[in-house]
Structure 1
Amino acid sequence: MSQFFERKKQELGVQLNKIQRKAVERTEGPLLLLACPGSGKTTTMIMRIGYLIEEKGISPQRIKAITFSKASANDMLERYKRFFPLLQPIDFSTIHSLAFQITRDYFSGSRYVMIEGNETNGLHKKKLLREMYRTENDEPITDDQLEELMSFISYVKNKMLPRQQWAKLKEPFPGAIEILKTYEAFKENYDVRLVDFDDMLSLAYEALDKDKNLLAKYQGRWDYIMTDESQDTSLIQHAIVEKLVAHHQNLCVVADDDQSIYTWRAAEPTYLLKFRTVYPNAYIMKMERNYRSSQNIVQTANQFIKTNKKRHDKSMFTKQPEGDPIILKRLSSEDAQFKYVLKELKELSDYGDIAILYRNNSSSTLLMSELERLGIPFYMKDSDNRFFSHWIVEDMLNFMRFSLKPERIDIYSKIASKTNAYWSSSQLKMLSRMKPTSENAFDDINLTITLKDYQIKILNEQKKWFAALNGMKPLKVIRTIRGEMGYDQMLASRAEKFGMKMTYLAQIFTTLEQIAEPLESMTAFAKRLKQLEQVTQQAKKEKTDDMLTLSTFHSSKGLEFERVYMIDLVEGVIPTEEDAEAPDLVEEARRLFYVGMTRAKTHLELISHGNESRFVEEVRKLIVPEKRLVTSQSNIVKTPINVTVPDNPNAIHSEEVLREGVFVRHRVFGAGEIVERDHERISIQFAKERKELMIDICISYRLLEIIN
């Protein structure tokens, strides 16, 4: 071991393994460092920077580190300061920050306007896209569609797709390509250059490609460049880095293709597979030892991800203890799932090292509601307040408001098109301009607007229904609006027209109905929604050491917890219906599942309900044979004498006896109750812990007997 490593071991207590040291010492030329979860990649990168400065005498100003996010850049800088407090800081930044520097230099002397980041600007990206959508479709864009449109535009830019290919792209909804063309033309033909965040990347690449003096300036600024989380880097971001290192090629790329989960943001995981095509002299190293998780978790996750074909061949391993077995729970319903998770949490006293992970933020709303009710402290890694402002939620509240105040024709005008009255656009315009003159809006409508006979009949029915809603509980109100008042029919038609995902819209209703179920009045329902919105906002702001963490799989990357509960593991959620249509998307969904699994240190539970995710089934197939194999080997291979099963005349000989609610005695663990079973396993709650046992092993080895 060199003096540098020995010195750091004494100063910091940091001891690198052989592969980590090798990665630190290989400073010249292109290096692809494939780092499995929990393999100490950040420590290795920081040590590599220190090695360059202390051992090779490189000036900190000649080193550049590029990260995926601002949070990662700040984290690496703080860790660098702790490791090397006497050294001058190096330049840590995101690729967007670097692109902004280059673009600013490129535009030196020319005027341009940023239209993203400052929403008070009149020329803001979101505002422009809203106006363009309304012009294209003659109706306002929803928040979900706006997010999809912005992601689509970002995808096109980051993929460096030429305009002649745009027409072949799959649109997030009809008309998205036309809006993209209109948006780009508007920016180009405006009085000054209009620039959004993605334009900065395009312009930075354009600058380095066309301005030789600017290229030389940036190529000469740094002698060593490192990029972190490079599996999440887009084609144009890779292209910018290629320009910067073309002269010296001293590039260290740290990545894990098994954790590439942002291809919808145009990330290019396949770039890592062809790394030697771009850099023929590249050296590829694999950091495969996991320091985070137990053997059970590491071995299962390692085998699970090997199902993917488009990946570097890696074999993650650990020297950690075996740990708890991975627990698989398949429950009858979403409600049963929440009850199970909450029951588990109530039995714990310390929540600071526990996480509940899910694919979609919609999963968190009900969970948050129950946690708040039970007084369990929690932090939301990425709360999504769009649920509370979603147009479906607003519609339900407006239906309720109008039922309570039937004279409010302004409220009815907001929901009229969401009913089954077949309003024409001209009628809706007249409706929006009307002022109330009586105690019931329907009376005003009959006097003011010319209606078809069938519309008069429908409106008379609506008048009765709105009057009836006033005496109903909120759950019944919602179901009446959906059924008798034609809302679900409208929703299906709208989803088909605008390419919306019905599974997502259905989830919103599931959440609304479960919030409404225990409440007695529509006023209480509206109040509860407002309260939950405030709780969500607060949960995003505060984080203390005793708080449970709620997070999507995406946002959990880079984090670790002692106990992890992965919930809503069902087909249609992970993978989604869209994922299931393409092998590449299935592989990404599997990577996302893998990211969730590898957040856990010692305790991992995979929880499903209804139509269980194929990924849970893949894990089950890995776990069950492994248990049988271990039992077989431990009793036959490793034991030098034949195993004799103790004679127990009272032992259970038939699996039919093993039913939920039956009390049994285990030869080793004592008395317990069977709380769950499937065709292969039983779960027994003993005095201090719950055990998952294989039925055939319990019977073969006469481990159980009935307690009368």
Structure 2
Amino acid sequence: MIYYSPERGFFMNQLSWQQQYCQLRNTIIMEQYPHLNPAQKEAVLNTEGPCLVLAGAGSGKTTMLVNRIGHMIRFGSVYGSDDVPEGMTEKEYDQLKEWHEGNPEPNTPIPLAISRVLEYKSVDPGNVLAITFTNKAAREMKERVNQLLKGRYSRMWISTFHAACARMLRSDIHRLGYGSNFVIYDAQDQQVLIKECIKQLNLSDKKYNPRAVGGWIGKMKDSMISVKESKRQNEKDIYGRQLANIYELYEKKLFQNNALDFDDLILKTLQLFEEAPEVLRYYQERFQYVLVDEFQDTNKPQYLWVKALAKQHRNLCVVGDDDQSIYGWRGADIENILGFEKDFKDTTTIKLEQNYRSTETILKAANEVVANNRYRKLKKLFTKGMEGEKLKYCRCASEYAEADFVVQSMQDLHEKGQPYSDFAVLYRTHAQSRVLEEAMMKAGIPYRIYGGTRFYDRKEIKDILAYLKVIENPSDELSLKRILNTPRRGIGDKTVETLEVLASDLDMPLWRMLAETDQWRHRISSRAANSLAKFMTMVTPWVEQKATYAVTDLVEEIYATTGYLKQLQEDGSIEAQGRVENLMEFLSLTREFDQTAEEETLEDFLAGTTLEAAVDSLEEEDDTGALLMTLHSAKGLEFPVVFMPGMEENIFPSSMSLKEGNEEEERRLCYVGLTRAKQKLYLSNAVTRTLYGFTGYNEVSRFMKEIPTECMEELGDERSVSDSRQEAFRKKQQKQRWQRKEIKPMETFASPKHAGEDQSIKTGQKVSHPVFGSGTVVSKANELVTIAFPGGGLKKINLDYVKLTIED
């Protein structure tokens, strides 16, 4: 409509009441979100079409998601449109305008009479599917959506991937030949079934470890490789063919048992969509809006499932942060988030970069570190908060000095009023916790292990300690019963019960009775009897000759002779790998004892560990103490003060990750660690570190070098940090009992040679290192040699990087 304005002297366009209504409606809707920043509002209001929300650490992602769901259910897609409610009159617009002018406060509750012209295109909650990764996250989202919508979400699906698929399958899995009463096998059930398959195929469960086979089958399913395809891929590999045969029988038995494993929940749903397209169409029509949280953690089957559901309406919103993709080792595919815009050409990409957690200095450090990754979406976290303190950095003499630094820093902050519950120590591997735990226990600092078990409570540590206790005191029947069938050797609970009854009847200690085979051989099965005889043959010499062993030598012999370590190494699972690391760290503990204790007896060693464990167990599991956890466990959490020890090459980034070409995922893990800190961040590393039983000199982590120097304050150096354990060792240099028994006599050579040029290094040879001096080669594995240096302990040396001189 055109009209003449006398005041302005020219003709103007006059907005119709419908256009004014649309503007006012947009204003009122926008006023519902005064607590959101512009990027969050954009993500909330952009409800139609594919949308990628790159949500940086601490950027209010959950708040945005909950408000987006609430917005869809209240207002639908009307924001920014020129749509007017059918039958709406100018009078109703005037009423809306009057109400708004009389309610100047933003986010004023909208009366029912007014809501008719604002919420007329609300989305039915039953048309919304929101997917999270954990049950905890799903519960939290449900609670917050309920608070926002006052119970108006009852038909909405807020669920994990697995729960949503299980729900779909309950209704329609009969189309695949299963009963709707199918059972879901957990990891333990899966292991039992795999064992049955291995036994039925007459295979050795030592060569085909059930846990390792389960991991292999899981990888096949994550990669959507069928039994038929796995057989084709392994047709020229004998071992691989047998794995494929186990896979085939396993799938057959699952079907016979009317059972699915967790991987099947998604795979069978995809199969159902393919074989019964009408089922897929039903869910496509129902779920007009699909939201996926933590999208960077999805694997291939999960992404295909999401794309299938969103194909019809294409209102797919995925939320994630490629810089926090740290689960590639368990199947997550970062390409899902990096390639999303290629799969959906008309994607609206929104970046949540404003951080509400950390200080400006912490964010600058984190931004600079992760910017060194090539494969990522460009974004940069910022805050409107304070600049904050510089990151504190200390290079310590050893892991013990580093633990002392962490403890002393905690005590200093605590004296200034900071509660211990504000502190979190984040490390790369579980094995790093042992030294930290000991230092905190001795200092009286309460702590908890988050998502893990205290060092001395870990099964593998208790098992090895039980062996040592029996060797020291065969009358310790509690420990003896623990190790009789550890690792499994065919001595079952019933056999042990029979032996206990017999020992009681004969009024003999269990150990003494076991030594007299005639007393019990006829009372148990021949298999168990043979196993017991072998057990006694193995352990008795240790008992009789314990005084001749250094503790480290004895432990290494137990690892090798019992097969305990080998069994875990062959397992192949992530859990088993962690147990192996803990056993190697136990060797660090024994070496420290052998090198520093005044009396090097097994009795003294066990007394010391018992006291450590006793202090450990006295700590209450409450929320008053500091938290210790791995960096992977810390994702999604935040703490006022964070300590990150072990910032060294081969520790973080880990040597295994570097070998497997996973440097960028390690850097993302560092980014996750840095962004857990809200106020203060302490970084540290050690010049020398004994880990997994080996002492090494690691360079400063590449990630430390990527942090701008202006962000860090360096606290002293390796010379200024005391290390009482090293001093104790220096006093004992002349004893040399730590040297291993297997060192062979030296072989002489006519003239010195460089090992880097001549790979003829052999065990027992004497060599010279440019830094550590003279030492004796203890073992050699390809380019890695272990050398005993008098006064310096055992060092692992890589011949590719260091030239050793073979001495005459």
Instruction: Give me the TM-score of the superposition, normalised by structure 1.
Output: 0.72
**1:577 counterpart residue number:** 655
Q: Relative to 1, partners in 2 of residues 1:183 and 1:526: Cα closer, same or farther, differing over 3 Å?
A: farther
> 8 Å contact 2:466–2:480 — kept in the other structure?
no
CA offsets 1:249-268 (integer angstroms, 9 cap, x no match): 10100010110111112111
The whole-number CA distance in structure 2 between the counterparts of 1:93 and 1:196 is 18
State the partner residue of 1:619.
704
Gaps of 5+ in 2: 1-25, 77-121, 527-532, 689-695, 723-808
Structure 2 counterpart of 1:159, one-letter code: S
Indicate the SS of the match to 1:555.
Answer: coil
Moved more, 354-363 or 595-604: 354-363
In structure 2, the residue corresponding to 1:324 is in which secondary structure? Answer: coil
Cα contact 1:245–1:251 (8 A) shared by 2: yes
Cα offsets for 1:299-353 (capped at 9, x unmatched): 1111111111111122222232221111222222222222221222222141232
CA distance in 2, matches of 1:155, 1:80: 35
Do structure 1's residue 398 and structure 2's residue 453 form an aligned pair?
no
After superposition, the C-alpha distances for 1:214-238 in whole angstroms (9 at most, x for unaligned) are: 1122112221111000000111011
Q: Which stretch shifts more, 619-628 or 212-221?
A: 619-628
Q: Alpha-carbon deviation of 1:34? A: 0.7
Report the secondary structure of 1:240's partner residue: helix
Question: Is 2:554 the partner of 1:481?
Answer: yes
One-letter amino acid of the structure 2 residue matched with residue 555 of structure 1: S
Offset of 1:292 from its aligned partner?
A: 1.4
Q: Report the secondary structure of 2:707's partner residue.
A: helix
Tell me, yes or no, if structure 1 residue 102 matches structure 2 residue 168: yes
Q: 1:211, CA displacement in angstroms?
A: 1.0
Q: Structure 2 vs 1, CA of residues 403 and 232 (structure 1 numbering), >3 Å: closer, same or farther? A: same
The CA RMSD measured in Å over matched residues stands at 4.6
> Does 1:559 pair with 2:632?
no
Alpha-carbon distance change, 577 to 147 in structure 1, aligned in 2, over 3 angstroms: farther
- 1:46 match: 66
Mark the CA change 1:167 to 1:622 in structure 2 (over 3 Å): closer, same or farther.
Answer: farther
Is 1:92 the counterpart of 2:158? The answer is: yes
Query: For residues 85 and 125 of structure 1, what CA distance do their matches in structure 2 show?
Result: 42
User: 1:247 deviation in Å?
Assistant: 0.3
Tell me what 2:4 maps to. Answer: none
Q: Displacement, 1:498?
A: 6.5
Q: Which consecutive residues of structure 1, in runs of 5 or more, have no partner in the other structure?
A: 419-424, 450-455, 629-655, 663-708
Asked if structure 1 preserves the Cα contact closer than 8 Å seen for 2:463 and 2:486, the reply is no
CA distance in 1 between counterparts of 2:447 and 2:306 reads: 40
CA distance in 2, matches of 1:460, 1:55: 78
Equivalent position to 2:141, from 65, 68, 76: 76
Q: What is the CA–CA distance in structure 1 between the aligned matches of 2:268 and 2:476, rounded to whole Å?
A: 55
Partner of residue 326, structure 1: 391
- In 2 relative to 1, CA 252–299 (structure 1 residues): closer, same or farther, beyond 3 Å? same
Q: CA deviation at 1:128?
A: 2.5
* Separation (CA, whole Å) in 1 of partners of 2:401 and 2:241: 43
* Equivalent residue, structure 2, for 1:205: 270
Larger radius of gyration: 2
User: Are the equivalent residues in 1 in contact too, given 2:423–2:640 (CA < 8 A)?
Assistant: yes
Q: Given the superposition, is the C-alpha separation of residues 372 and 387 from structure 1 closer, same or farther in structure 2, using an over 3 Å criterion? A: closer
Secondary structure of the equivalent of 1:215? helix
Higher deviation after alignment, 311-320 or 218-227: 311-320
Q: Within 1, Cα distance between the matches of 2:378 and 2:708?
A: 22
- Answer yes or no: is the 8 Å Cα contact 1:395–1:415 preserved in 2: no
Could you tell me which of 664, 668, 677 is aligned with 1:591? Answer: 668
Q: Distance in 2 between matches of 1:511 and 1:149?
A: 32
2:397 matched to 1:363?
no
Percent identity of the aligned residues? 25
Which residue is equivalent to 1:380?
A: 449
Residue 76 (structure 2) pairs with residue 7 (structure 1) = no
Aligned to 2:588: 510
Q: Which residue of structure 1 lines up, in the alignment, with residue 370 of structure 2?
A: 305
CA displacement at 1:159 relative to structure 2:
2.1
Cα distance per residue 1:334-382 (max 9 Å; x no partner): 2222222122222214123221111223333554455455443334320
Q: 1:532 to 1:113 in 2, by over 3 A?
A: farther
**Residues 130-176 of structure 1: per-residue CA shift (max 9 Å, x gap):** 5556787746699xx76655444333212212345547999xxx968
Deviation at 1:64, TM superposition (A): 1.6
CA distance in 2, matches of 1:95, 1:496: 32
- Please point out which of 462, 466, 472 is paired with 2:543: 466
1:526 & 1:211 partners in 2: Cα distance? 61
Q: Which residue is equivalent to 2:738? A: none
Paired residues, number: 596
Give CA-to-partner distance per residue, 1:180-216, whole Å, 9 cap, x none. 6414423424533321111111111111122122112
Q: Which amino acid aligns with 2:656?
A: E
Aligned partners of 2:187, 2:563: CA distance in 1, in Å? 36
3-state DSSP of counterpart to 1:551: strand
Give the CA deviation at 1:2: 2.9
Aligned pair partner of 2:45 in 25, 28, 53: 25
Which SS does the other structure have where 2:63 is aligned? helix
Matched, 1:352 2:421: yes
**Separation in 2 of the partners of 1:571 and 1:562?**
27
Q: Which amino acid aligns with 2:165?
A: A
Contact 2:230 2:244 in 1 (8 A): no
SS at match of 2:658: helix
Instruction: Report the 3-state secondary structure (helix = DSSP H, G, I; strand = E; otherwise coil) of the residue aligned with 2:303.
Output: helix
Mapped partners of 1:106, 1:71: distance in 2: 27
Call closer, same or farther: CA 1:112–1:186 in 2, change over 3 Å: farther
Q: Which residue of 1 aligns with 2:790?
A: none
Displacement of 1:35 in angstroms is: 1.0
Letter in 2 for 1:227: V
How far 1:617 sits from its partner (Å)?
Answer: 3.4
Distance 1:303 1:79, change over 3 A: same
Q: Is residue 159–residue 235 contact of structure 1 (8 Å, CA) maintained in 2?
A: yes
Write the distance in 2 (CA, Å) between the matches of 1:534 and 1:128. Answer: 36
Structure 1, 378-387 or 132-141: larger mean CA deviation: 132-141
For the residue of structure 2 that corresponds to 1:252, the secondary structure is: strand
* C-alpha separation in 1, matches of 2:717 and 2:204: 65
Residues 412 and 180 of structure 1: CA distance in aligned 2, closer, same or farther (over 3 Å): farther
8 Å Cα contact 1:400/1:522 also seen in 2: no
